[in-house]
Amino acid sequence: MDPALPAVRLTVQEAIHTLSSSEDAGQILSTLGTLKRYLGGTEEPVLPEEKEEFATVQFSAVLRCLVSKLSPGWLELSPDGQLERLWESFFLDGPPDQAFLVLMEAIESTAGPSFRLMKMARLLDTFLSTGRVAALMEEQCRPQTKPSFPLFQETLLRKVVGLPDLLGNCLQRDNLTQFFPQNYFPLLGQAVVQALKAVVNFLQGGLDCSVSFVSQVLGKVCIQGRKREILGVLVPQLTVLTQDSCLWQRVCWRLVEQVPDRAVEAVLTGFVEAAPRPEVLSRLLGNVVVKHRKAQFVMTRKLLFLQYQHTTPMVQSLLGYLALDSQRRPLLIQVLKELLETWGSSSAVRHAPLEQQCYISKAVLVCLAHLGEPELQDIRDELLASMMAGVKCRLDSSLPPVRRLGMIVAEVISSRIHPEGPPLKFQYEDDEMSRELLALATPGPVGDCSPEARGPSPAPVATEPPVETPEQTMESDVPPAQPQGSDSELDSDDEFIPYDMSGDKELKTSKEPMYIRDCVEALTTSEDMERWEASLRVLEGLVYRSPAAAREVSVELAKVLLHLEEKTCVAEFEQLRQNALVAVTVTDPEPVAKYLTSQFYGLNYSLRQRMDILDVLVLAAQALSRPRSLQRLCPHGPPASGTLCSPAVAISQPGNVVAPDWQVVVEERIRSKTRRFSKGCPRRELSAVPNEFNSVAGYFFFPLLQHFDRPLVTFDLLGDDQLVLGRLTHTLASLMYLAVNTTVAVPMGKALLEFVWALRFHVDIYVRRGLLSAVSSVLLSVPTERLLGDLPDELLEARSWLADVAEKDVDEDCRELAVRALLLLERLKDKLLSSSSPQP
C-alpha cells in the first residue's frame, strides 16, 4: 500500500473532527484550506495518488460533514463571507457526481422549510447553472481506470433524470424556477451536447470513451414524456455539428444504438419528430434501423401501423430516411408491401378509424414517390393485387371519405406501375384532403419533404396576364396607333355600347303544360324533348296549385317520377324530379307513402331509386310537420335562373311588370331617409294549425321496418347493401324526430329501439351513426313520462350499450353521438327526479 494513502485518511479524519467540534473561525478556515489542497487549484499541490484517494474515497464524507454544520450561526463565524465561499467551493469544484448526490441526499433528508433546505436548493441551482451537470456526464464518459459500480451509476441516473420531481416534492411552494421541468430538461439537453463535445475531443486525442451513461439519460428522459424538451435543444445542435464531421455522426449513431431497449421507441419517435428533413435524420441515426431489431420494429411497424397521430411531415421524414441509403431501401419496399396489404384489407376498412386509414394512405403515397420504376416493376404483381382488393373494399364503403381514399390511391398506384397504359381516372370531390394526397404522390428529390428544403419554387409558366401597374393601365387604355391606310378604323365597333341581354329568355317552340295529366302524358309518351323538360319543370307548381287534380293521379304520378330517367341533358334534373315527388307526397301523403314504402323492398329497383325513396319520405315528412304557410318557400319549385324565392316576394306571373332598377334605388333611398317612431311587427304571427304529419306518420315509418332482415335477389340490407342500410337508419331517425308530439310517437319509439337493438353491433360505421342518431331521436320525441312508463327495459339496455360505444368505438363521430345520447338520458333522469320531488 502506498504510504501516502494512510496520511490522507488521517488528515481527513482530523479535519472532520475539527469541523464538527470547533467554533473558531480561523481554525475552521485553516482546516478547510488544508482539505482544499486535495482538490487542486492551490499553491501547495499534493501528490496525484493523494488527490485520487481523496476524490474517490474521502470526498463524500467531507461533504456530509459540511452539510451537517450548515446553519446561519456557523456561516456567520466569518463575517466577511469567506467561510461561506469556501464551503460552497467544495461542492462546485470537487468531483461533480459525488457533490450532486450529496446535495440531493441532503435536500431529500431535510424535513420542512428551513434555512438549510433553501441554502442547499440555491447551491444546487448554482451547480446546474455553472455547467456541473455536463461535467458530471463527461466524467462518466471518461475511460474508467477502476471497476465501476452499477448501483452508483443507477442512483446517479435516477437522481439526474428525476430532479424536477424530487425537488418539487421537497420544496413544494418554495420551488425554484430552474427546477421546473420546462426549464430543467432543456438545460439537461445542453449538458448532453457539452458531454458529447468532450467525447469527440477524447476521440480526437486518441482516448477510448463511452456514451452509455448519456444514452441512458436520454432514454430515461424520453420515457418520462419529456422528449420534446430535451430533443428540442439536442437535435438542432447535433444537426449542425454532424453536417461536416463524420466523427460527430459516429458519436450520434453510438448514442442512439446504446439506448436501452425499453426506451428505443420513445427516443426514435422523438428524433423523427424533431428532425426537420430525412437527410438530417439519416445523419443522426445512421443505419440503426438495420443493426437494431427493436429499432427496426419501431421505425417500420409501430410508427406506421400501430400509431396514426403523427403529422404528415413526420411520415415523410421517416420514409425518406429509409429511402436515403441502399441498405435501408429494401426495408422501404417491404414497408410498402405491408402498407398496401393493410390498405387492401376489408377488415381494416370496416374496423379502422378514418384517421388511421388516411394516415396509411398517405404513407403508401409517400413510399411510391420515393421508389423508382425498376423497383416498382419488380413488385408490380403484388402491388396490383393489393390495389384491386383495396379498391373493391373501399368503393363498397358507405363513407364518402373512405371511397375517395380508394380512388386517389388507386389512381396513383396504377399510374406508377402502368405508366405506359391509359390512366385510371375516378370522379371525386376536389377538397383539401384530395389535394394533399395528390401532392404527396408527386415524385420529387429524395429528402425534399418540407417547403424549407425545397428552396424557392421555379417561376410558373405564364398562364395569367401579368399584373399591370397604374401607369401601364393608363397606357393600355389608349388605343394603339394604327398605320395609315388601314381598314381597322372603319371596321372597329369599340365605340358602341353593348346591348343588355341579361333579361333575355330562350325561345321555345312548345308551350308549357297547364294540367297535371298533360305533364304525365308528356313524361311518359312524348318524344318532344322541349315539352318533356317543360313538363318536368312546371310539375311541382301544378301539383301545389291543383291539389284535387293531383290526388286523382297521385300514385300514378309517383310511379312515373320514381322510374323517370333523364332523356336529355337537363340542368338540376335530380332536384326537379325529387321536388315533384315531394310535392305529390305532401299533397296526397297516405296513398303515396304506402306506394313508396312498398316499393322500397320491391324487386328490380336500383340502389339509387331506393335511396331516392328514403330522401322523398324525409322531405315530405318535414314539410307535413310544419305549418302549411311554411311548407314551401317557393310554390313552383326551385327557380331556374337561380334567384332566391321567399314568402314575402310575390310570385311573378307572365303579365307582371318588373320594377326597374332606378325605382328600387329611389324606394331604398326614401326608406333610409324616413324616420319612424315605432314600427309594428313586419309580419303577422302564424296561427296554430294541426300537425298534418300526425295522422300519416305510421304510413311513412312502420313499413320501412317490416322487411329489413329479408334478403332479395338483388337487395340485401344485412349483406352487401350497407350504404342503403345506413341511409335507412338515418331516415328512420329523422322520421322519429319529426313525429314529436304525435300520438303515434310512443309505438314508433318502441319499434325503433327494437330495430336499433338488433343492429347495435353492426360493423359499418355509417350504420352505427344512424343507429345512435335514432336513439337520440327517440329520447327527444317521446314524452318523458311515456318513455319511463312504456320503455324502461329498452332504456336500460340502451344506456349500457351507449356507454360502451362512447368508450370503445373506433369512430370519433360514433363516440360523440353516444355521449350526446347519454347526456339526453341524464337530462331525462334529472327531469324525472325534479318532477317527483315533493314541493315545499
Chain segment 249-296, per-residue pLDDT in tens: 999 999 999 999 999 999 999 999 999 899 999 999 999 999 999 999
Which residues lie closer than 8 Å to 344 by C-beta, 6 or more apart?
Answer: 386, 387, 388, 389, 390, 391, 393
Say if CB 283 and CB 252 are below 8 A apart: yes
pTM for the complete prediction?
0.74
Q: pLDDT band at residue 749, thresholds of 50, 70 and 90?
A: very high
Q: What is the mean pLDDT of residues 608-612?
A: 92
CA distance 135 to 377: 55
Say if CB 822 and CB 778 are below 8 A apart: no
pLDDT over 80 at 507, yes or no:
no
CA distance 376 to 159: 52
Q: pLDDT band at residue 167, thresholds of 50, 70 and 90?
A: very high
pLDDT over 90 at 46, yes or no:
no
Amino acid at site 292:
H
pLDDT over 50 at 612, yes or no:
yes
CA distance 561 to 323: 58
CA distance 219 to 256: 9
In this structure, what C-alpha cell is assigned to residue 371? 421508389
Q: What is the mean pLDDT of residues 11-23?
A: 85
Range from 42-51, 366-375, 569-578, 642-651 that averages highest in pLDDT: 366-375
Amino acid at site 23:
E
What is the pLDDT, as a whole number, of residue 44?
67
pLDDT over 50 at 731, yes or no:
yes
pLDDT tens string 191-230: 999 999 999 998 998 888 889 999 999 999 999 999 999 9
- Which spans in 604-696 are helix H? 607-624, 661-673
Number of H helices, E strands in the chain: 45, 0
Q: What is the mean pLDDT of residues 2-31?
A: 81
Q: What is the mean pLDDT of residues 17-23?
A: 84
Q: pLDDT band at residue 85, thresholds of 50, 70 and 90?
A: confident
What is the pLDDT, as a whole number, of residue 179?
92
Rounded mean pLDDT of the chain? 83
Which residues lie closer than 8 Å to 746 by C-beta, 6 or more apart?
Answer: 782, 783, 786, 790, 791
What is the pLDDT, as a whole number, of residue 596?
94
Q: pLDDT band at residue 247, thresholds of 50, 70 and 90?
A: very high
Say if CB 238 and CB 281 are below 8 A apart: no
What is the pLDDT, as a whole number, of residue 410?
92
Say if CB 730 and CB 714 are below 8 A apart: no
CA distance 415 to 399: 25
What is the pLDDT, as a whole number, of residue 632?
47
Which residues lie closer than 8 Å to 287 by C-beta, 6 or more apart?
Answer: 253, 325, 327, 328
pLDDT tens string 447-458: 444 433 333 333
> What's the chain's length in residues?
840
pLDDT over 90 at 819, yes or no:
yes
Q: pLDDT band at residue 111, thresholds of 50, 70 and 90?
A: confident
CA distance 512 to 539: 10
Range from 366-370, 507-511, 629-633, 717-721 that averages highest in pLDDT: 366-370
Say if CB 211 and CB 255 are below 8 A apart: yes
Q: What is the mean pLDDT of residues 66-95?
A: 85
- CA-only gyration radius of the chain, Å: 41
Q: pLDDT band at residue 147, thresholds of 50, 70 and 90?
A: low
The full 3-state SS of 33-73, as one line of letters, equals HHHHHHHCCCCCCCCHHHHHHHHHHHHHHHHHHHHHCCCHH
Say if CB 617 and CB 700 are below 8 A apart: yes
pLDDT over 60 at 530, yes or no:
yes
What is the pLDDT, as a whole number, of residue 773?
95
pLDDT over 50 at 505, yes or no:
yes
Helix/strand/coil for 661: helix
pLDDT over 60 at 324, yes or no:
yes
Q: What is the mean pLDDT of residues 98-126?
A: 89
Q: Report which of residues 468 and 724 the model is more confident about.
A: 724
Q: Report which of residues 492 and 604 the model is more confident about.
A: 604
Q: What is the mean pLDDT of residues 108-129?
A: 89
Q: pLDDT band at residue 300, thresholds of 50, 70 and 90?
A: very high
Residue 826 phi/psi, 5° resolution? -65, -40
What is the pLDDT, as a whole number, of residue 675?
67
What is the pLDDT, as a whole number, of residue 42?
64
pLDDT tens string 650-674: 333 333 334 455 566 667 767 776 7
pLDDT tens string 758-804: 999 998 899 999 999 999 999 999 888 888 788 888 888 888 999 99
What is the pLDDT, as a whole number, of residue 681?
54
What is the pLDDT, as a whole number, of residue 405?
92
